[in-house]
Amino acid sequence: MFLFQSPPPTRFDLNFNIVGIPVRVHPMFWLLAALLGFGTGQVLIWVFVVFFSILIHEVGHALAFRRYGQDSYIVLHFMGGLTIPDSLRWGNDRANVSLSPNQQIFISLAGPFAGFILAGLVIGGVIFSGGMVSINFLLGFIPIPQLTFLPFGNNAVYALLVMLLWVNVFWGLINLLPVFPLDGGQVARNVLIQYDPWDGARKSLWLSVITGGLIALGALLFLNSIYMAFLFGMLAFQSYQSLSGRY
């Protein structure tokens, strides 16, 4: 069973529209976000940041779909979010818009870059107000913006801005790793298929297995993150299942 599948609707779902895009939030989304936020000391702020950031990410995908004439809807669930292409009605039948590999790459990149734009707006607002932001390198090579001075607000505002930067930059970069079905995995698959139509999909899955396994190991050894290790371990295993033809 794949982790990144849309869960069935429940009577506890939150449903709304944003810029004409239907959004459904599964109740397990709130539960996992709250569990991940317990260590922050600011659970409510963390849940809001995760919700808002993932929503912006998925809206980026949805707007990219719309650019190519494809409607879509968003589902936020316990493993994050999905932007699912909707079908178009042709008479009594329904069909999806045919997208080229380069168009699919653009759609995949639109999500993380929507988050980077949001982080850029936060940084710009802080600097414009007289604050200071520095760049620290996690593990020596992952750039993470750090809020070093904020001339307004209180501790809650500071925590909100710090979390917005962390989620949108760190997890945006993580999402670009070539691990399927993350956005980076989708990009790698479409790139490899263009260069090797016969074997590109299989090569992208092997890349996903190797990268996912290494990230899971690194998360345990260097970041002490059980959640991240579990997530990437499962994604690597799912890619291996796909290679083996077992679902």
pLDDT in tens, 155-211: 999 999 999 999 999 999 999 999 999 999 999 999 999 999 899 999 999 999 999
Bridge pairing between strands 142-149 and 72-77: unpaired
Among 120, 227, 116, residue whose Cα is nearest residue 168: 116
Asked if residue 115 has pLDDT above 80, the reply is: yes
Q: What is the pLDDT of residue 93?
A: 47
Query: Amino acid identity of 167?
Result: V
pLDDT band (50, 70, 90) for residue 36: confident
pLDDT band (50, 70, 90) for residue 88: very low
Q: Where are the domains of the chain?
A: 177-247
Q: Which residue has the higher pLDDT, 243 or 208?
A: 208
pLDDT band (50, 70, 90) for residue 247: very low
pLDDT band (50, 70, 90) for residue 3: low
Q: Which residue has the higher pLDDT, 79 or 92?
A: 79
Q: Which residue has the higher pLDDT, 67 or 5?
A: 67
Token representation of residue 34? 């709250």
Q: What is the pLDDT of residue 97?
A: 65
Q: What is the pLDDT of residue 140?
A: 80
Q: Measure Cα distances from 145 to 8, 119, 126, 155, 164 in Å.
A: 37, 9, 12, 18, 10
Q: What is the pLDDT of residue 86?
A: 85
